């Protein structure tokens, strides 16, 4: 066998492989892509009201980002089991996993509403650091901007709290449906939700039909309504198909009781705790990174808002690949096809890297143009955002590898290792490094951002070793069946 044929067989899939990957990947890319694009438009609409309003919404969303990832992490442990149960054709196991997701979702909603609702003002203050080094007039302007930013953030938080519950429920249904290969329904519901959000933003943020626009409050109302629309579509279609066609039998009777076999509950809980802790600590780490950068002034907050919104749109292809890794590797492990699981993981990572090289090249080429769309942002913020976008694009291939590695380890139930791989790394390297460089050096903020981003090389090295050792190759549901 020739060298190139060995390389092709080892790292590249056949038509059937890519068909299976794309069947999972494309619906999620469409949903997440539209969501990110609409989020960009939302950002532009709120930004057109004023820079302070955009900063207030952005900082508030940083707090809800922590909640969103806690939902994801809390349900992920059950998702790992659900994927392998589905691969083993055990519908009762899938149903028990769904019940676990509902319980966890409710608990996180209550905790999130309490923390954000009670401590929201204090949390906002952590990110609002006006630059007090200029003239008296400049300082007065900065203080005024800071006050408007906090007011906008509080207005947004007060309304958006009403959208926590539907977000959690939607994630429980979408996660369970996806492990069963049903990716289109969550996609269609998500698309309907984001277009509802976009239309209502236009109606509620600005002045229309003789009515004064609600600004930031309008943006929050639109988001909450869109989440109920997304959940409503999923519930309507699932239970209609279940009643008429007998589909989704693994969800039938899920609400009759919430009793989960003790051993299964214990096993899911043991694997969920590291995942929940990981998402909580990782998202807090990202939040603290943003806070550390914000110590350089509100211009940096504005530039980071522009950078994250645009880069999220370009990262959709990479981040959506995580679902393909979870489902395909998890099903292979559940069916005791260990060689298939290794082959799937390796080939998906290579496929993800090829996609990433294209997207990061496009982002570099457009980095100077895209920030110009933020007309109310200062020229300094737009110039800074362009530099940050280029830096972000250069490390995207590293992020792609570590992202796929995380989901591969998770698919095999190695949740404690994923905790060490993700959160411990974040708090040991990027978080303290960013604080030290921001507070104790005179380095330009772009240089600091680049040095922190390059720490991903360490994570890539560790991830490669973990994948090579194969410690993630486990069937975690065989003992449940026994």
Q: What is the pLDDT of residues 65-108, one digit of tens each?
A: 888 888 888 887 788 788 778 877 888 888 888 999 999 899 99
- Please state which of the ranges 123-132, 282-291, 344-353 shows the lowest mean pLDDT: 123-132
Beta pairing partners, 211? 208
Give the Cα separation of 433 and 352 in Å (integer).
29
DSSP string computed for 388-456: HHHHHHHTHHHHHHHHHHHHHHHHTT-HHHHHIIIIIHHHHTHHHHHHHHHHH----HHHHHHHHHTTH
Mean pLDDT of 403-409: 86
244 compared with 380, residue with greater pLDDT:
380
Count the Cβ atoms, other than its own, within 10 Å of residue 276.
Answer: 25
**Domain spans in the chain, listed from the N-terminal domain onward:** 15-475
DSSP conformational letter for 335: T
Contacts of 75 (CB under 8 A, 6+ apart): 100, 101, 104, 105, 171, 172, 175, 272
Mean pLDDT of 290-296: 86
Residue 132 pLDDT greater than 70, yes or no: no
Alpha helices in 253-369 (DSSP H): 262-294, 298-314, 316-334, 338-366
Mean pLDDT of 132-161: 82
Per-residue pLDDT at 162: 92
Residue 169 pLDDT greater than 90, yes or no: yes
Mean pLDDT of 298-318: 85
pLDDT tens, residue by residue, 409-457:
877 777 778 888 888 899 999 999 999 999 899 899 999 999 999 999 9
Reference 307, options 321, 295, 289; nearest CA is 289
Tell me what the pLDDT averaged over the chain comes to: 83
229 compared with 321, residue with greater pLDDT:
229
Mean pLDDT of 105-125: 88
52 compared with 479, residue with greater pLDDT:
52
Mean pLDDT of 239-259: 82
Alpha helices in 50-134 (DSSP H): 51-87, 91-127
Most confident segment among 159-173, 210-224, 274-288, 372-386 = 159-173
Residue 482 pLDDT greater than 50, yes or no: no
Contact yes or no for 100/267 (Cβ under 8 A)? no
Percent of the chain whose predicted confidence (pLDDT) is above 70: 94
Per-residue pLDDT at 384: 94
Record the tokens describing residue 266, joined without a space.
């214990």
Report if pTM > 0.95.
no
- Please state which of the ranges 34-38, 211-215, 299-303, 377-381 shows the lowest mean pLDDT: 34-38
Percent of the chain whose predicted confidence (pLDDT) is above 90: 23
Mean pLDDT of 176-190: 83
Contact yes or no for 52/244 (Cβ under 8 A)? no
Per-residue pLDDT at 475: 63
Per-residue pLDDT at 469: 82
Q: Which residue bears the tokens 């442990």?
A: 77
Per-residue pLDDT at 133: 67
Mean pLDDT of 138-145: 78
Per-residue pLDDT at 94: 86
């Amino acid at each position: 066998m020739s060298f190139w044929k060995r390389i092709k067989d080892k790292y590249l899939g056949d038509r059937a492989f890519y068909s299976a990957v794309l069947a999972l990947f494309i619906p999620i890319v469409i949903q997440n892509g539209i969501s990110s694009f609409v989020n960009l438009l939302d950002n532009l609409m709120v930004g057109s009201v004023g820079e302070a309003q955009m900063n207030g919404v952005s900082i508030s969303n940083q707090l809800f980002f922590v909640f969103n990832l806690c939902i994801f992490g809390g349900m992920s442990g059950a998702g790992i089991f659900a994927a392998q149960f589905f691969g083993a054709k055990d519908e009762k196991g899938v149903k028990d996993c769904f019940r676990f997701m509902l319980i966890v979702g409710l608990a996180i909603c209550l905790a999130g509403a309490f923390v954000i609702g009670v401590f929201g003002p204090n949390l906002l203050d952590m990110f609002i650091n006006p630059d007090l080094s200029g003239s008296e007039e400049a300082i007065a302007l900065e203080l005024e901007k800071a006050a408007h930013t906090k007011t906008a953030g509080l207005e947004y938080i007060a309304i958006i709290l009403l959208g926590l519950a539907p977000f959690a429920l939607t994630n429980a249904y979408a996660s369970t449906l996806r492990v069963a290969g049903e990716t289109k329904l969550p996609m269609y519901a998500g698309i309907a939700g984001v277009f509802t959000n976009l239309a209502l933003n236009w109606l509620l943020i600005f002045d229309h039909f003789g009515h004064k626009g609600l600004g930031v409050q309008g943006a929050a109302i639109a988001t909450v309504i869109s989440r109920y629309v997304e959940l409503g579509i999923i519930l309507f279609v699932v239970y209609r198909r279940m009643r008429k066609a007998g589909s989704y039998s693994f969800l039938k009777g899920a609400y009759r009781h919430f009793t989960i076999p003790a051993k299964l509950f214990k096993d899911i809980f043991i694997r969920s705790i590291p995942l929940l802790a990981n998402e909580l600590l990782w998202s807090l780490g990202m939040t603290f990174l943003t806070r550390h950068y914000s110590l350089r002034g509100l211009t940096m907050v504005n530039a980071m808002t522009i950078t994250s919104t645009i880069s999220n749109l370009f990262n959709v292809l990479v981040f959506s690949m995580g679902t393909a890794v979870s489902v395909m590797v998890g099903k292979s492990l559940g069916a005791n096809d260990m060689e298939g699981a290794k082959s799937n993981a390796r080939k998906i990572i290579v496929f993800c890297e090829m996609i990433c090289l294209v997207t990061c090249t496009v982002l570099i080429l457009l980095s100077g143009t895209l920030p110009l769309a933020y007309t109310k942002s200062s020229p300094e913020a737009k110039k800074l955002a362009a530099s940050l976008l280029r830096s972000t694009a250069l490390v995207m291939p590293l992020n792609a590898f570590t992202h796929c590695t995380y989901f591969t380890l998770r698919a095999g139930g190695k949740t404690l290792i994923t905790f060490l791989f993700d959160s411990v790394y974040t708090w040991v390297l990027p978080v303290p490094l960013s604080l030290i460089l921001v507070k104790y050096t005179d380095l330009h903020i772009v240089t600091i951002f680049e040095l922190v981003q390059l720490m991903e090389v360490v994570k890539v090295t560790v991830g490669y070793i973990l994948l090579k050792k194969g410690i993630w190759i486990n069937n975690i549901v065989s003992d449940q069946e026994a």
